[in-house]
Structure 1
Amino acid sequence: MATYTLVPGAGGQAWYWHRLVPELRKRGHEVVVVDLPAGDESAGLQEYADTVVKAIGDRTELILVAQSMGGLTAPLVCERLPIDLLVLLNAMVPVPGESGGAWWENTGQAQAMADQAIREGRTPSAEFDLEETFFHDVPPDVKAEALAKDEPPQSSTPFAEPWPLSTWPDTRTVFLQGRDDRLFPLDFQRRVVRERLGIPVDDMPGGHLLALSRPEELAERLEAYHVRPR
């Protein structure tokens, strides 16, 4: 049995994982779901990492899954705990000294997102469209539940500070990307991950919110990583 610790992206809500949790438990695993202090202006990446470490406690056989912005926090946890496997899921990959805010321009995300829209026959918009970008492949009932919630706050603090590690942690790391992600397109992620981590990007159907849109298939992919020989 493994312990899956699930780190959300911007907004920090554990609710994001609520459809994946029963799928992992059904496969015999323990699951730790983390609420990050996203609304706390005083909380930076170290405080986010503290929150994850505290949630894990003394558990072992640890698999850490980091969604989107969670890619800034998860490596810090790997420096502090014996993580067996880090799964980056549609995640941001920083380099030493780079702030989360600078990541967007440094990687060329905006142009990649616009190019993806054109390829899909959509008009690149100057205004961010939450539903079009994030919920285009999420089931209608799940989408309605998400949009009925108050939009979670996200402090700018963790985006403003330089990423504090001097190198990527020596933790077995895999990268899984939704091939229909409109925020971080697949070809964009392949380039960024190759340049920054030197590892391949695996892909599966679905957009940016895979845990909401395809929880069963995502659980199967995570289980395959878990049992894959090192």
Structure 2
Amino acid sequence: MATFLLLTGAGSDSWYWHRVAPLLEARGHSIVAPDLPVDDDSAGFPEYTDVAARAVADAPGRPLIIVGQSMGAFTAVMTAERVPTSMLVLVGAMIPAPGETGGAWWGNTGQEAAQTAYAVEEGRDPDAAFDPFELFLHDVPAEVVKASAEHMRNQSETPFTTAWVGPEWPSIPTKVIAARYDRLFPLPFMQKISRDRLGIEPEIIDSGHLSALAKPHDLAARLLSYASELDSPPR
């Protein structure tokens, strides 16, 4: 059995994981899902990491799997440098490079061009005004979309000015999960950044950006399979 540290992306709280966490707990795993200080202008990635590291300080003595959603990838890798970690899992993630700030990541990776190209491919207006439903919630069940309104947070800009300093990716088994219908980080974009930065071929879930809300059973199945790898004896 493992402890899963579940880290959210921008502008959200730990409710984001509410459809996945029970599926992991039902299989005997422990869940730690802290609320990161996303709306605190005094907090950047170092402070997010402090919160995450404190959250698992008293966790059961089990293998720790850190799961970072979207911008949570920065906090995930920085936390893995602070606490003993058995595996990192990055989901629809902003995979950082050493020394890269959250703000620089977008231009460095070519995210905008990828998002535009996918919008055109789908027949959507790439210049349309920002609509969180169209970008993030288009495949999430209606009742979950309604409930999500109470859990949206005003994301501070501070993390976008702070960086993961590296100097290199930790020598920890790492998995990447990409979403086939992600309108923010389209699949070809995620495949490229995962290959280029980590040398990893991502696994694919048939969802949009918020796979924990849209396809919780599919995401939980992947996470459970990763945990089973830690339980398996070496061959």
Secondary structure, counterpart of 1:95 in structure 2:
coil
Matches within 5 A, 1:73-222: 73-147=75-149, 149=150, 151-222=152-223
Aligned partner letter, 1:223:
L
The TM-score normalised by the length of structure 1 is 0.96
Runs ≥4 residues deviating over 2 A: none
In structure 1, give the amino acid aligned to 2:25. R
Residue 63 (structure 2) pairs with residue 61 (structure 1): yes
Asked if the contact 2:68/2:91 (under 8 Å) is kept, the reply is yes
- Unaligned regions of 5+ residues in structure 2, if any? none
Q: Which amino acid aligns with 2:15?
A: W
Amino acid at match of 2:34: V
Deviation at 1:125, TM superposition (A): 2.4
What's the CA shift for 1:135? 0.5
Aligned-residue offset at 1:193: 1.2
- Tell which deviates more after alignment, 150-159 or 190-199: 150-159
Contact 2:78 2:164 in 1 (8 A): no
Identity %: 48
Aligned residues: 229
Q: What is the root-mean-square deviation of aligned Cα atoms in Å?
A: 1.3
Change (3 A) 1:105 1:77: same
**How far off is 1:163 after superposition?**
2.3
Query: Do the aligned residues in 2 keep the contact of 1:36 with 1:48 (CA within 8 Å)?
Result: yes
Contact 2:8–2:71 (8 Å) recurs in 1: yes
In the alignment, which residue of structure 1 is the partner of 2:30?
Answer: 30
| Deviation of the 1:43 alpha carbon | 1.0
1:72, 1:94 within 8 Å by CA — same for their partners in 2? yes
Aligned AA (2:11): G
Query: How far off is 1:118 after superposition?
Result: 1.2
Say if 1:62 and 1:85, in contact at 8 Å, map to a contact too: yes
1:2 matched to 2:29: no
> Which residue is 1:226 aligned to?
227
- Counterpart contact for 1:7–1:74, Cα < 8 Å: yes
Indicate how the Cα distance of structure 1 residues 33 and 49 shifts in structure 2: closer, same or farther if over 3 A, else same. Answer: same
Measured after TM superposition, the shift of residue 150 of structure 1 is: 6.2
Contact 2:194/2:200, CA 8 A, preserved across alignment: yes
TM-score (normalised: structure 2): 0.94
**Amino acid across the alignment from 1:158:** P
Gap runs ≥5 in structure 1? none
Distance 2:218 2:205 in 1: 8
Q: Deviations over 1:49-108 (max 9, x none)?
A: 110011111433111110000011111111111111110000101111111101111111
- The Cα shift of 1:39 comes to 1.2
Secondary structure, counterpart of 2:86 in structure 1: strand
Contact 1:52 1:77 in 2 (8 A): yes
**Distance in 2, Cα, partners of 1:168 & 1:138:** 33
